[in-house]
Amino acid sequence: PHSSLTNCRNNHNADRSALYIFVLVWCVTAGPSVTPGEEVNGWGNPMDLFDEPFPDVSTYEDFHTIDWLREKSRDTDRHRKVRSRRVTLLDAWSGWVVMLLIGLLSGTLAGVIDLAVDWMTDLKEGVCLSALWYSHEQCCWTSNETTFDDRDKCPQWQTWSELMTGHAEGAGAYVLNYFLYVLWALFFAFLAVSLVRVFAPYACGSGIPEIKTILSGFIIRGYLGKWTLLIKTVTLVLAVSSGLSLGKEGPLVHVACCCGNLFSSLFSKYSKNEGKRREVLSAAAAAGVSVAFGAPIGGVLFSLEEVSYYFPLKTLWRSFFAALVAAFTLRSINPFGNNRLVLFYVEYHTPWYMAELVPFILLGVFGGVWGALFIRANIAWCRRRKTTRLGRYPVLEVIAVTAITAVVAFPNPYTRRSTSQLISELFNDCGPLDSSRLCDYVNDPNMTRPVDDIPDRPAGPGVYTAIWQLALALIFKIVVTIFTFGIKVPSGLFIPSMAVGAIAGRIMGIAVEQMAYHHHDWIIFKKWCRPGADCVTPGLYAMVGAAACLGGVTRMTVSLVVIMFELTGGLEYIVPLMAAAVTSKWVGDAFGREGIYEAHIQLNGYPFLDTKDEFTHRTLAADVMHPRRGEPPLAVLTQDGTTVEDVEELIKETDYNGFPVVVSRKSERLIGFVQRRDLTLAIKNARQKQEGVVSNSVVYFTEEMPLLPPSCPQPLKLRCILNLSPFTVTDHTPMETVVDIFRKLGLRQCLVTRSGRLLGIITKKDVLRHMAQMMNQDPDSIMFN
């Protein structure tokens, strides 16, 4: 029997580069009769095709969906060829090499970003005279003149007012510092938004919704490009330093994915296969979270739970490797100067008690309610931005938000400093020597030894002031974050959410602590809190609150708890964290099932088929397929009898991605599916290079050709571009099964048949539209293909 490759020999004049890809995709897959190394006349070794450059051939167009099954079979073909060349080992290792490179680069970038943010945040308040590139902390650390108590004050570090007027105190100095603080913030924000506008529009936002969509098999060209990487890194530093209510964690995931994309382009295994590339990107996302929090295991689970779509075990191992290398690189850079990997290192000295689960669960409820309200408010505002004139002035919007943030933030010490420092202080357990206002407790005069395990003490005036300031900071953060997330600078949501939760948690923690101190005899405290004991750790409440709010916004649970667990490093506090995270998820889900990232995906109309939603409606494939009743019949090709002209006409008149091929219009028996771009290229090349192919040449998709009279023009044989195994379901298939098939196999389209007759086609977009319709949403919100 003729192999399908043999059928293509007539095309030997056709443009190689354009046709190689067809051979790659269809012929080799379909033709088991070609043994490796077999010489095909005029084509050279068919196994060499892979090394040739493909000018102008990219398999998918921008804003289109990939076909996972097809990518997978392409990779297997490549694999087979590689095996015959005995470079399997190198090939297998290339994955690990890419991971190593991603880990190294994203760890380095995270370190650089951390250092730069530290320096520039402090630049808003003053400058280090001994070395301009030192941040406040570094400046005073290197100074020998500071005492242990007063670590923050050293002569080398001068605020702007000191430097310019010589006065550190007083109304004039305050106003000058205030003014310069706002000015620096505006300058940073303006620089950030301008850079984003001019060089890389994709660099704005957190990037996680888009990365989720890309990982599910969508093409957004340039989203993970080199320019985006560069500009996002720079503008992220600027945006965080400007004091806006945003974090660097989400964007770091985007930066790591850009690194992943960059390095995957070095190896043809990944650069030429969109499916394999996505495996690398999943691992890169894990590395991003790993460096953002110093939590490699949490990063892997984040990638698994929140970001990834297709996550085979191999990717699990590689993600873990990438996350570890990244974390290790970051630790070598040591940006926090404390040899710690984690962003917020905490150590608590007391266990928690069963009764404390009540406030923890209350914090969970708070987190869930806040998360749900935040998502609604933020989405409403973003929709407003998209639909009204507001969206036309992104620079102005950023400037306005920055100005308001800076003006409101400066007077309050808890909002003036960077949000990570705030969280760090809130998480902290008060030691005997802590100078923070939050630790201004009235000490027992009898207690002399400076021990770790300080008993509960009554709160001093500093604590009450701090509570008021924290309450104001809470309101401010809650309001301003709604308007910040979504402006045209890189902006993450992790840190602001954690800040909201940590403030609420700390306030509640102090309240419980004081209640326990003053009311030892209450029945709820009696059992576990004797006088003079250290019962309540307010820092733990802050941590639980942070987890609850982060959970309410993102609806993560396991990865969230693991990240928090890696921060504290103790299994002790896993139950409080879990209780809060699960409560916040339940409460949040009661208001609306989707997290902030899914909400933004829906807002932008990306074709994202969420694996979490369950489709439980009882519609059938016949209800969803095209053509519907009353619509014109499906555009099909017949296996013989169509002329080149007819095909060209069909291509011109329709914009479908592909056409089913049937035996005859009468029988409508399906034999295969042909891609639009394959068809276009094949006809174009045949017309240019193959003699005798004219407009009324007949196109054949059959295996054998009929004997034509010599008067007929040269026929065009196209079986080698025909996909002989298109995916089909019957019209009676329940849509839940169809949705399942689309999700699990990553299909782009599926043909609908009944008793072997072709009835219609269902595309991924049709499925998404149908799902939107079933959930009473606007089906036209699904925009891309």
Site for its own copies in 646-685 (CB under 8 A): 663, 669-671
How many residues line the site for its own copies (CB under 8 A)? 74
Q: Identify the CA nearest to 251 among candidates 265, 264, 238.
A: 238
Using the rule CB under 8 A, give the single segment among 273-281, 317-325, 494-502, 630-638 that binds its own copies: 317-325
List phi, psi (to 5°) of 730.
-85, 160
Site for its own copies in 687-726 (CB under 8 A): 724-726
CB neighbour class for 613 (10 Å; exposed up to 12, middle 13-18, buried from 19): middle
Q: What is the closest distance, in whole angstroms, from the C-beta atom of residue 716 to its own copies in the complex?
A: 21
Report residue 728 as tokens. 């089909």
Nearest-angstrom CA–CA distance, 186 and 193: 10
Query: Which one among 188, 270, 293, 320 touches its own copies, defined by CB under 8 A?
Result: 320
Using the rule CB under 8 A, give the single segment among 419-427, 440-448, 545-553, 612-620 that binds its own copies: 612-620
CB neighbour class for 606 (10 Å; exposed up to 12, middle 13-18, buried from 19): buried
Q: What is the closest distance, in whole angstroms, from the C-beta atom of residue 295 to its own copies in the complex?
A: 8
Provide DSSP, 275-323.
Answer: HHHHHHHHHHHHHHHHHHHT-HHHHHHHIIIII-S---HHHHHHHHHHH
- Cα dist. 546→128, 298, 549, 550, 702 in Å? 33, 16, 5, 6, 64
Q: How many CA atoms lie within 13 A of 226 on its CB side?
A: 4
Q: What is the closest distance, in whole angstroms, from the C-beta atom of residue 300 to its own copies in the complex?
A: 7
Using the rule CB under 8 A, give the single segment among 310-318, 378-386, 629-637, 768-776 that binds its own copies: 310-318
Q: 712 — alpha (psi -120 to 50), left (phi > 0) or beta?
A: beta
Query: Which one among 640, 736, 765, 779 touches its own copies, defined by CB under 8 A?
Result: 736
Report residue 712 as tokens. 């007929």
Q: How many CA atoms lie within 13 A of 525 on its CB side?
A: 20
Site for its own copies in 78-97 (CB under 8 A): 79-80, 83
753 in helix, strand or coil?
A: strand
Nearest-angstrom CA–CA distance, 103 and 260: 9
Q: What is the closest distance, in whole angstroms, from the C-beta atom of residue 669 to its own copies in the complex?
A: 4
Q: Which is nearer to its own copies, 309 or 606 (CB)?
A: 309
Report residue 163 as tokens. 């430097």
Q: Which is nearer to its own copies, 392 or 666 (CB)?
A: 666
List phi, psi (to 5°) of 387.
-100, -20
Q: What is the closest distance, in whole angstroms, from the C-beta atom of residue 420 to its own copies in the complex?
A: 19
317 binds its own copies (CB under 8 A): yes
Q: Which is nearer to its own copies, 12 or 617 (CB)?
A: 617
Q: What is the closest distance, in whole angstroms, from the C-beta atom of residue 595 to its own copies in the complex?
A: 12
Site for its own copies in 411-450 (CB under 8 A): none
Q: What is the closest distance, in whole angstroms, from the C-beta atom of residue 666 to its own copies in the complex?
A: 13
Strand partners, 752: 729, 760
Q: What is the closest distance, in whole angstroms, from the C-beta atom of residue 697 to its own copies in the complex?
A: 24
338 binds its own copies (CB under 8 A): no
Site for its own copies in 548-567 (CB under 8 A): 557-558, 561-562, 565-566
Site for its own copies in 755-774 (CB under 8 A): 755-757
Q: What string marks each residue from 562 to 591 as x (binds its own copies by CB under 8 A) or -?
A: x--xx--xxx--xx--x---x--x------
Strands 698-700 and 716-717, sheet pairing: parallel
Q: What is the closest distance, in whole angstroms, from the C-beta atom of residue 538 to its own copies in the complex?
A: 23
744 binds its own copies (CB under 8 A): yes
Using the rule CB under 8 A, give the single segment among 56-64, 76-84, 356-364, 540-548 that binds its own copies: 76-84
Query: Which one among 392, 449, 618, 666 touches its own copies, defined by CB under 8 A?
Result: 618
Q: What string marks each residue from 342 to 381 as x (binds its own copies by CB under 8 A) or -?
A: x---------------------------------------
Q: Which is nearer to its own copies, 339 or 388 (CB)?
A: 339
Site of tokens 């149908």: 770
Q: Which is nearer to its own copies, 86 or 652 (CB)?
A: 86
- Cα dist. 470→98, 272, 408, 497, 508 in Å? 45, 52, 14, 15, 11
114 in helix, strand or coil?
A: helix
Q: What string marks each residue from 260 to 299 as x (binds its own copies by CB under 8 A) or -?
A: ----------------------------------x-xx--
